[in-house]
Amino acid sequence: MNAIDTPPEEVHTAAIARELSLPARQVRAAAALLAGGATVPFIARYRKEATGGLDEVAVTAIRDRLDVLRELDARRAAILKSLAEQGVLTDALKTRVMAAGTMSALEDVYLPYRPKRRTRGMIAREKGLEPLAKLLFEQGAIDPAAEAAAFVGAEKGVESADDALAGARDIIAEWINEDAETRARMRDLFAREAVLASKVVEGTEAKGAKYKDYFEWKEPLCKAPSHRVLAIRRGAEEGFLTFHILPGEGAALAELERRHVRGSGPASLEVKAAARDAYKRLLGPSMETEMRLETKKRADEEAIRVFASNLRELLLASPLGRTRVLAVDPGLRTGCKIVCLDPQGKLLHHDAIFPLEPFRKTEEAAEKVKALCRRFSIEAIAIGNGTGGREALAFAQGLDLGRAVAIVMVSESGASIYSASETARAEFPDKDVTVRGAVSIGRRLMDPLAELVKIDPKSIGVGQYQHDVDQKALKKSLDDVVVSCVNAVGVEVNTASPHLLAYVSGLSARLAGNIVAYRDEHGPFGTRDELREVSGMGPKTFEQAAGFLRIRDGANALDASAVHPESYGVVERMAGDLGCTVADLMRDGGLRGAIDPRRYVDAKVGLPTLADIMAELEKPGRDPRGRFEAFAFSDAVRAFEDVQVGMRLPGVVTNVTAFGAFVDIGVHDDGLVHVSRLADRFVKNPAEVVKVHQKVLVTVVSVDAERKRIGLSMRTNPADAPVKPAGAEAKASAKGGANAGARTRARPADAEAKASAKGGNVFADFFDNLDRRPKM
């Protein structure tokens, strides 16, 4: 069987196995499970024997590559159909089409046959000049002018020999442009040597001041970080910048001449001129367009990766757990909305207090809060970190509640989005947005994941250039993160909202609604098996979802664990062999220690699954999230005006970007720790050092009162010069692209580095007040 006859799935499996350095059998198994409707979390958790233990990252990579290759197949089929309809499809051409491994290579093969508008080359062919073009392209010992004279004629529309030669060169230029090997080599040249160069649009200097670092900027494209590419593109889209992606023209023309110009005779000079025209008019612009698209794609992928990583950390933040909570949505002019929630997050009571400016009804507010804490046995107070948050926190901390009550400041990023959403209106149709927002704040403290899934991830404020990247790819990636986190933690089926259930493996929004409706009508589920009675819950869906759904205090102790119902029989055999119940096995470590998992290996259950089962028996339904730890900001800093250079302050990382990390130090305006100040060593990727929600200790290195901007450092000695990379990387970075024709300069303070993590407003010259501009 030759390559053309090989089934596409086999070709894809082999290609993906090579790309990911995985055994083909593992890729084949994952691909088969995906084709059968299995989800990534299910495959990674419950089909380890089939896939050889592939994790979610590997299975996701296989899924995504399959999607790309199927898209390539669809385009290949469309091209073959077009070639057949044109009557030009030969066996040799079909072989070339089938052998193309990328979309670019496929389009290169198709380019000469692609229907196109009337070109200069077409016009020259219509004038009968193709024979002259072939003669010149052979580059023999001829006199081009003399040969061209034979093609002159009014009836042909060729007025002179020069006119004939110009037409022939137009034909040759198209041949050069449409040569697949030439395009491949030129594409490689652009990838290696192209320079990203931007300039200001004349007359927009003042309005586009936030992009002034890019008013005259050059650097090798291969070294341009994603955030800089996106910043320049944004500046161009807003009309302040123009940019080009081109290698040195000499290098490009030399490459074309090596491939197409033979000798230095008169005919060769005509071909050389045609090659120059081909590059400047056809090939150069085409390659630049490709590079613009490719660099945008790569920049998008990096920005999306950063966003996804931040979102994962946020969703997996430590929960306080089932606790009676009083939540406060701070406000000055409108007062503070307060709500009381039961351990399941149910709204019990709501009210308003006015302890802050301008009302200062402190005593009245204190009595009301203390009464509510007694009435509802409040165990924790959650306070939103918006305007008035620090003042509300100080007010709560000053109350004598008669017993220990945890008082925690909670990020309210995205709470306003939730409170005005259809989801919030459906949950609380008779409550206003302020009450809904307070409920969201309280529930975030109890279980961040369960509450944040109700909000569009793009509204949570942990992204970078999120509005500039491919929105479809962004949504897919963020949805993958949410699904992964929800299924890693597991979902309590008797208390979960339909929005949380919808992210469970195998479940849809409709089926999640059906589960809640069944629960409301029939009461709490007693067993996982009862889920089969829900409308729409077929055998396949049950298989995909059951292991991720938990039933606490149910009839079967295993229903509270991640042990899949398909493996209950194995656990029951273990218990039977020891003469005890399954519940005994889960309670008694001594009994579990007597189990030899190898005895229970069979055709369906292998050692990987048995290892997971033993871990679940030890800690059934264990939450992978860390233990909740209270955090307190410095009492010395409550407002921006309190922040002074040199202060050493505790903070919480709110956003991690490619250029550094934003940190909340308790003054509403986040400060920035630039990547050069994250550690005492050179840091290439900020995610190596910090994560969203991480507690850190920072030093204030600059305060810009006018612009409300704070520069921070995590260095041992913040006054030290920023750390530079070692070796060749240091040399290239320090030049800032000088080796590509740019003037030596400091690394730009990227437009996105000038953005508030909360507001997203771009601000200019963030580093103006730092003691030294960072160089990388």
Residue with the bigger pLDDT between 417 and 463: it is 417
**Looking at residue 764, what is its pLDDT?**
29
DSSP per-residue codes, 666-710: SSSS-EEEEGGGSSSS--S-GGGT--TT-EEEEEEEEEETTTTEE
Contact (Cβ atoms closer than 8 angstroms) between residue 356 and residue 388: yes
Contact (Cβ atoms closer than 8 angstroms) between residue 751 and residue 215: no
pLDDT tens-digit series, residues 360-380: 899 999 999 999 999 999 999
Helix (H, G, I), strand (E, B) or coil at 549: strand
With cut-offs at 50, 70 and 90, classify the pLDDT of residue 738.
Answer: very low
**Looking at residue 736, what is its pLDDT?**
37
**Looking at residue 325, what is its pLDDT?**
97
**Looking at residue 501, what is its pLDDT?**
97
CA dihedral 477, 482, 486, 489 (to 10 degrees): 80
Residue 121 Ramachandran class (φ > 0 left, ψ -120 to 50 alpha, else beta): alpha
* Secondary structure of 31-60 in HEC code, one letter for each residue: HHHHHCCCCHHHHHHHCHHHHCCCCHHHHH
- Tokens representing residue 169 in the block: 């060169």
pTM (2 d.p.): 0.83
Residue 721 has pLDDT above 50, yes or no: yes
Q: How far apart are CA 564 and CA 583, in angstroms?
A: 16
Q: Are strands 549-550 and 491-492 parallel, antiparallel or unpaired?
A: parallel
DSSP per-residue codes, 429-472: TTS-HHHHHHHHHHHHHH-HHHHHTTS-GGGSS--SSTTTS-HH
pLDDT tens-digit series, residues 389-438: 888 998 999 999 988 899 999 988 888 888 989 989 999 999 999 999 99
What are residue 410's DSSP bridge partners? 384
DSSP per-residue codes, 635-670: TT-SSGGG--TT-EEEEEEEEEETTEEEEE-SSSS-
Q: How far apart are CA 56 and CA 62, in angstroms?
A: 10
**Looking at residue 765, what is its pLDDT?**
33
**Looking at residue 5, what is its pLDDT?**
59
Nearest C-alpha neighbor of 402 from the set 442, 373, 364: 373
CB atoms within 10 A of CB 437: 26
In Å, how far are 240, 287, 393 from 207, measured between CA atoms? Answer: 8, 32, 40
**Looking at residue 722, what is its pLDDT?**
63
- Give 759's DSSP letter: T
**Looking at residue 237, what is its pLDDT?**
95
Q: Which residues are within 8 A (CB) of 658 and not within 5 positions of it... i.e. 6 or more apart?
A: 225, 226, 227, 302, 303, 306, 464, 675, 685, 686
Residue recorded with tokens 């600059």? 702
Contact (Cβ atoms closer than 8 angstroms) between residue 306 and residue 687: yes
User: What's the whole-number mean pLDDT along residues 446-474?
Assistant: 87
**Looking at residue 612, what is its pLDDT?**
94
**Looking at residue 728, what is its pLDDT?**
40
With cut-offs at 50, 70 and 90, classify the pLDDT of residue 456.
Answer: confident
- Give 215's DSSP letter: T
pLDDT tens-digit series, residues 491-520: 999 999 999 999 999 999 999 999 999 999
Residue 529 has pLDDT above 50, yes or no: yes
In Å, how far are 195, 575, 734 from 228, measured between CA atoms? Answer: 13, 60, 16
**Looking at residue 668, what is its pLDDT?**
77
pLDDT tens-digit series, residues 600-628: 998 889 999 999 999 999 988 888 888 88
Q: How far apart are CA 303 and CA 494, in angstroms?
A: 37
Residue 596 has pLDDT above 90, yes or no: yes
pLDDT tens-digit series, residues 236-256: 999 999 999 999 999 999 999
DSSP per-residue codes, 125-160: HHTT-HHHHHHHHHT-S--HHHHHHTT-BGGGTB-S
Q: How far apart are CA 441 and CA 382, in angstroms?
A: 7
Tell me which H or E stretch contains 384. Answer: strand 380-384
With cut-offs at 50, 70 and 90, classify the pLDDT of residue 726.
Answer: low
Q: How far is CA 365 from the centre of its chain?
A: 44
First to last CA, the chain: 54
Nearest C-alpha neighbor of 289 from the set 186, 200, 426, 144: 186
Report the percent of the chain where pLDDT is more than 70.
92
Among the ranges given (358-362, 457-461, 625-629, 737-741), the one the predictor scored with the smallest mean pLDDT: 737-741
Taking the CA atoms of 407, 412, 416 and 420 in sequence, report the sign of the dihedral they define.
negative
Residue 731 has pLDDT above 90, yes or no: no
With cut-offs at 50, 70 and 90, classify the pLDDT of residue 739.
Answer: very low
**Looking at residue 229, what is its pLDDT?**
94
Contact (Cβ atoms closer than 8 angstroms) between residue 304 and residue 197: no
Tell me which H or E stretch contains 11. Answer: helix 8-20
Q: How far apart are CA 681 and CA 724, in angstroms?
A: 8
Q: How far apart are CA 505 and CA 484, in angstroms?
A: 9
Task: Let me know the angle formed at the C-alpha of 35 by 29 and 41, rounded to the nearest 5 degrees.
Answer: 70
Q: How far apart are CA 534 and CA 527, in angstroms?
A: 12
In Å, how far are 220, 386, 553, 732, 747 from 726, measured between CA atoms? Answer: 19, 42, 58, 10, 16
**Looking at residue 387, what is its pLDDT?**
85
Q: How far apart are CA 554 and CA 495, in angstroms?
A: 13
- Tokens representing residue 355 in the block: 């302890």
With cut-offs at 50, 70 and 90, classify the pLDDT of residue 349.
Answer: very high
- Tokens representing residue 117 in the block: 């508008």
pLDDT tens-digit series, residues 541-586: 999 999 999 999 889 999 999 999 999 999 999 999 999 999 999 9
Query: What letter represents residue 492's amino acid?
Result: E
Residue 746 has pLDDT above 60, yes or no: no
In Å, how far are 168, 416, 549, 581 from 527, measured between CA atoms? Answer: 80, 37, 10, 17
**Looking at residue 582, what is its pLDDT?**
94
- Give 342's DSSP letter: -
Residue with the bigger pLDDT between 747 and 106: it is 106
Nearest C-alpha neighbor of 506 from the set 495, 491, 524, 523: 491
User: What's the whole-number mean pLDDT along residues 458-476?
Assistant: 85
DSSP per-residue codes, 243-302: EEEE--HHHHHHHHHHHH--SSSHHHHHHHHHHHHIIIIIIHHHHHHHHHHHHHHHHHHH
